[in-house]
Chains A and B, each alone.
Chain A
């Protein structure tokens, strides 16, 4: 492996941008998006590391990322339900 690996840069960049968004966004949905960006960066990094095994890609990080994708989506769905509930409660208060 010589030179710069573009997808490694993308992984690190996704993590950086996700953290930036998480720190500066105020709206909850945007924060959820930012966390997901960060998570995608972590997944990318794990899979890049998994390629270093000499005989075929390492299945353990692959399985972990697969688990991680499902966990991320379920946590995000829960967060979105919270956002909807909050919006509804606020709407009830205003009327």
Chain B
């Protein structure tokens, strides 16, 4: 039962990741790309971590996974904030081929 639940969670997480990546590739500008990445990927990471923690079986491993999730989500939010702030400051510096 637990295995099924974990597999479901992991599959859902992978689905969110897929959606985030499609957004990153398809959206037109920095802000909407960041929107796709942070929203979808953070949800995906949470679901994935939950699924793996269920499979891990021991509370110690589950706690470690929770710590990894927390650190990753903090770092991702700050990185997203910095990228958006930079883009706002210098303006959209065109396409990547400029530099």
Direct A–B contact in the complex, CB atoms closer than 8 angstroms? no
B residues neighboring A (CB under 8 Å): none
Residues of A at the B interface (CB closer than 8 Å) are: none
